Structure 1
């Protein structure tokens, strides 16, 4: 690690989830039914409705194993977007401020996930890559 690099945030949030780690991911798809059928056949995943145009991925058969999702996207977005990851952070507002100060932009401010599942936001790094953030911590 160079002097300009920082170690991951470390620690855990109030639920024991490690901070600074990928805790959620999403795959843009053109057709939810076709994609969920394919992913079930290949990986054995099961799905649950999770809002309009979105299916949560259950890796193990229960709500406690909700690990990511697939969402309905336009064909050009499917080809260009890739998989979206979400990094767990303790203080969403502090992380958004750090991203802006480091030359990034806030694409989506703190937004409630719903169902008592915390909040998410999205930043864009100086190179244009979107990075999701998630937290179980309420705004300070």
Structure 2
């Protein structure tokens, strides 16, 4: 289990699904969905699985990202910022970052990049599918540039 202190102080990978596609976000010290926070062991299984996948897709970086980052942190997009998100998106995942930095209670995330060829839930091994299915986005990932963590069950 991830404690409240760990959630507030760590940048933890989080994976979720809408029942068809897979999303990836980094917590940036924000609160995790209960399904993620509840089991470090299951979380590590997902991290190891998704980080070891081969690249399958080209990446579309959010066209509004530069403007959004200037507003949030005072500087635009650079390669260092994009590196991890692009890496995960090349694996077929929709990638999101926390919008309200330095506020652990803020539950808003913005799209960093989306895949041309999304990884489909149906292609996952059963053990990964069983864990991932516990963290469910209540809408269709491909239609959202912004996500409220409160919409992830």
TM-score by length of 1: 0.27
Of Structure 1 and Structure 2, the greater strand share is in 1
Q: Which has the higher contact order (CA 8 A, sep 6+)?
A: 2
Of Structure 1 and Structure 2, the greater helix share is in 2
Higher Cα Rg, which structure:
1
